Amino acid sequence: MNARSRRAFTLIELLVVISILGLLLSIILPSLSGARKQGKRLVCMSHLRELSHGWHMYADENKDVCLPGRYGNEPGGKTNPLNWYEIGNGLKYRPRWVATMGRQVGIFAFDKPSITDDRQDYDSVVYQCPTASQWIDERNHAFGYNHHFLGNARKTAGQFHNFPVIRSRIVNVSGMVMGTDCLGTAAGKPLDQRKPYHNNGTDFAEAGNHGWTLDPPRLTAVSDRGSGDVGSPRTSVDPRHEGKANAIFCDGHAEARTPQQFGYRILPSGAYVDLEPVEDPPTNRWFTPTGRNDDPPAIPGT
């Protein structure tokens, strides 16, 4: 074929090809983005499931007592050896629930656990949610525990709020939430007042603040909430996976649900309902040992 018989693309033909490629990319890219988000959700769910096996193992080794969200604070704080607990590769000052479960399954939370630091970052990737990969402070963590009903070892007037809890007394094993993706105390704030996550933060409005605790959907005027401090807002699930939150249940199965499917209700401001009267009230049926809409345990003396 000689040079004269060769035919180059015209400008119009090039523009058509470019337009077709652009159209194909516009179709493919959202699908790739959706697949990436779904992949992160599945990895997060896998991490929760891996750690959750330690929940039953702990009860097996501790006379059927469910692990507390965090061990109670004995007098003397960090100087009292009664506040130091073995987590598999060393002693740790009052570890949170996930570190205790991790010990049981051999997935250690910290490379060097500390008896003087209660704001360590989790070192193992299994303690991360890929969608909130920076939320690794043990206090401001990505995963929250249903401690109101499974083991709240906070003390008021020398009495535990709800501890010990006996596993064999849980009737609603397959329907009771153990832990979920958690938004922290920012859940009690309107959307326009929330702030970005801060690893070592203490601001109630920051996403993930005190995220290791998960309040049930329906609270009362005498129930514990949030950080346990005076004035603390409530915590809740975090629908960080395309409008849904991952949850692990006490029988070991995992699901992704919307906040409403867990029983939460959200005000027009974006804040999660606490004591505000609403037409469709929140329900605790997915958080209680009975499967009923029971009140969370009251703070002793209230």
The residue with greater pLDDT, 230 or 16, is 230
Tens digit of each residue's pLDDT (9 = 90 or more) over 54-101: 999 999 999 999 999 999 999 999 999 999 999 999 999 999 999 999
Model pLDDT, residue 81: 98
Report yes or no on 92 lying in a domain. Answer: yes
Report yes or no on 27 lying in a domain. Answer: no
Tell me the pLDDT band of 1, cut-offs 50, 70 and 90.
very low
Domains in the chain, number? 1
Report yes or no on 300 lying in a domain. Answer: no
Tens digit of each residue's pLDDT (9 = 90 or more) over 175-213: 999 999 999 999 999 999 999 999 999 999 999 999 999
Tell me the pLDDT band of 37, cut-offs 50, 70 and 90.
confident
Domain, as residue range, for 178: 42-262
Q: What is the mean pLDDT of residues 246-255?
A: 97
Report yes or no on 74 lying in a domain. Answer: yes
Report yes or no on 33 lying in a domain. Answer: no
- How does DSSP assign the chain, residue by residue? --GGG--PPPHHHHHHHHHHHHHHHHHHHHHHHHHHHHHHHHHHHHHHHHHHHHHHHHHHHTTTBPPPSB----TTGGG-GGGEEE-SSSEEES-BHHHHHHHHHT--S-SS--SS-S-PBP-SGGG--GGGTT-BBSSSBSEEE-HHHH-EEEEETTEEEE---BGGG-S-TTT-EEEEEB-GGGGGS-GGG-B---TT---TTBTTTTTTB---S---TTB--TTSSTTPPP--B--TBTTBEEEEETTS-EEEE-HHHHT--B-TTSPBPSS---SS----TTTSSSSS-PPPPBPTT-
Report yes or no on 285 lying in a domain. Answer: no
Tell me the pLDDT band of 111, cut-offs 50, 70 and 90.
very high
